[in-house]
Amino acid sequence: MGETTNDSDRGISRRALFIGGAAAAVGTAVLARDELARLWWRTPGVEKPRKEGEVDFGGAHWVAASSANWRRADRPDDFGIDRVIIHVTQGSFKSAVKVFQDPGHGAAAHYIVGKDGRITQMIRELDVAFHAGNREFNERSVGIEHEGFVDRPQDFTDAMYEASARLTARICARYDISIDREHIIGHVEVPGTDHTDPGPHWDWGRYIPLVRAAAKRDAERTADPSTGPSTGPSGGATAASKSTPAAERDA
Ligand SMILES: [Zn+2]
């Protein structure tokens, strides 16, 4: 063919290439973005970013538990979280921190709440803490220890109830857990446990309304619809069969 045709052909093909290429590039970018948003956290080997010392509850102070006392996970994407489990340490705040740092202890909870209302986080909510003495309940729950002894009602102070209720309210909001006694349970209620904590002096009739009140305050504070909903549940646990190298004892 002639020169004009050649030019014309080249022009068309170049234009077609440009349009096609641009469309392909845009398509790929959109697809990639959507895929990333949807699949990023579920891709094997890709975990949520973590920062040293980061806490899940704003008011908590971070002290890392021994890695022997918990199992790395990527909750709520690998395991859904639908329970908060209440414990009592049977000892001081300091001794609880110490044993959770001890690799030989084989158990630890995510949080410890002190009589003075201070909160220490020792395991990320992303991870499975060995606190319930029941693998399934460990995987589906966040464990909160409270300083004191089950037979000493005076250990359960106003400051402790208030701080713990604020913490539990946030956990329930994060994972869309109902604030009731079916979902906020004592260690004693975990199937198969021989632990009795938090014991008969833990005042559930007081605690649950405190959690509800804290949740209401949080909801009112964050009522601005432009902020959007917080991260909801991931649609239930996928029951990924991960190995459990360490014993999951009770805390
Ligand atoms: Zn316990």
| pLDDT digit string, tens, across residues 75-100 | 999 999 999 999 999 999 999 999 99
For residue 208, being part of any structural domain is answered with yes
Q: Per the domain annotation, does 114 fall within a domain?
A: yes
Q: Residue 218: what pLDDT?
A: 95
Please report whether residue 232 resides in a domain.
Answer: no
Total domains in the fold of the chain: 2
Determine, yes or no, domain membership for 100. Answer: yes
Ligand 1 centroid distance, CA of 88 (Å): 6
Model pLDDT, residue 46:
60
Residue 122 lies in a domain: yes
Instruction: Give the Å distance between the CA of 83 and the centre of ligand 1.
Output: 14
Q: Are residues 113 and 215 in the same domain?
A: yes
117/163 same-domain check: yes
Query: Annotated active-site positions, please?
Result: 145
Task: Output the CA 84–ligand 1 centroid distance in Å.
Answer: 12
Return the minimum-mean-pLDDT range out of 34-43, 46-55, 118-127, 231-240: 231-240
In a domain, 113, yes or no: yes
pLDDT tens digit sequence for 3-30: 333 444 444 444 444 444 444 555 555 5
- Domain CATH number, residue 168: 3.40.80.10
Residues 188 and 101 in one domain: yes
The answer to whether residues 19 and 64 belong to one domain is no
Which is nearest to 84 in space by CA: 190, 185, 205, 197? 185
Full domain range(s) for residue 98: 60-227
Q: Which of 88-97, 116-125, 229-238 comes out lowest in average pLDDT?
A: 229-238
Q: Are residues 189 and 218 in the same domain?
A: yes
Q: Would you state the pLDDT for residue 25?
A: 53
pLDDT at residue 223 in the model: 80
Same domain, 123 and 32: no
Statement to judge: residues 35 and 143 lie in one domain: no
> Is pLDDT above 80 for 38?
no
Average pLDDT, the chain: 82
pLDDT > 70? residue 117:
yes
